[in-house]
Structure 1
């Protein structure tokens, strides 16, 4: 089984703003839709059916919930220089989902990092480019709001493209 990821793919009325920013700064913009990662890429022997059952068992009592994203932040870690669109509403629910999914069958893939819900809108090669990108996106003052009613599992294809293999509807 190839690498899989568990994500939220929010659908905003003004998503074109996010897409425009990602086209400039995110090398994955043409491969995966704007998303909030809940479980980072993992390679597991779990079948898709077992993974689907894990979602049902972990998220059975999670109802659709509202999220709002607004404002940007920059982050540097061992994986690169990132530009994030910040989650300002729904953060607690997203963290709860993240924590639940990393229990039991996916526990071994939890890197133990401090999880802060966000949408990555850029990854650049240097801090200088990150500073420039950050200055550029701060001209936007858009708010992005929607109701989340499903959690998706994607498989990462051989060219890093996103292939949705499971969609779990929230009650």
Structure 2
């Protein structure tokens, strides 16, 4: 089965992201707005319960809750016509990402970590230019407190669902 790890921001930030995603993101119905911490990886159920979940509990226990800020949009152009809310990088979110890419967990880091919330993707070149041009002139002032991350699994229809939630800073017994 296919799994991934993400942070779901507050409803306020999700509402802002969804105001764009409804129109510009074909994955809108498959997953709520999120910050991907670990790209999708394959694992068996016994591996999830026997090895991965205990490691994720350990990662969560040594990671303190932290704050994020979003102040502008950015893009992965020219690689893809993806537009996103740029989450300001911080030591805390980078360290969490690094811990989730240890040798103890499956899946390789394919790209450099860029914390973001996708709001538009798979746009034509003209639509991308119009949407990004318009959004890049706007200012955002969004703040959030991150105190958990989620292990997700992918359903047969491509949608993602939460498998388990891990609270940051909680010591495991």
Query: Which residue does the alignment assign to 2:16?
Result: 17
Pair 1:47 & 2:48 matched: yes
Q: Is the 8 A contact 1:151 1:167 kept in 2?
A: yes
- Segments of 4+ in structure 1 off by > 4 A? none
Q: Equivalent of 1:148, from 146, 149, 152? A: 146
Aligned length: 167
Pair 1:137 & 2:135 matched: yes
Change (3 A) 1:128 1:99: same
Higher strand content, 1 or 2 = 1
Deviation at 1:12, TM superposition (A): 4.4
Q: Deviations over 1:4-51 (max 9, x none)?
A: 110000104353221111111111112211100000011123224532
Q: What are structure 2's unaligned runs of at least 5 residues?
A: none
Superposition TM-score, scaled by structure 1 size? 0.87
Alignment partners' CA distance in 2, 1:111 and 1:64? 23
Q: Is the 8 A contact 1:58 1:100 kept in 2?
A: yes
Aligned CA-pair RMSD: 1.9
Q: Is the 8 A contact 1:69 1:145 kept in 2?
A: yes
Alignment partners' CA distance in 2, 1:132 and 1:124? 14
Q: Is the 8 A contact 1:66 1:145 kept in 2?
A: yes
Q: What are structure 1's unaligned runs of at least 5 residues?
A: none
Superposition TM-score, scaled by structure 2 size? 0.86
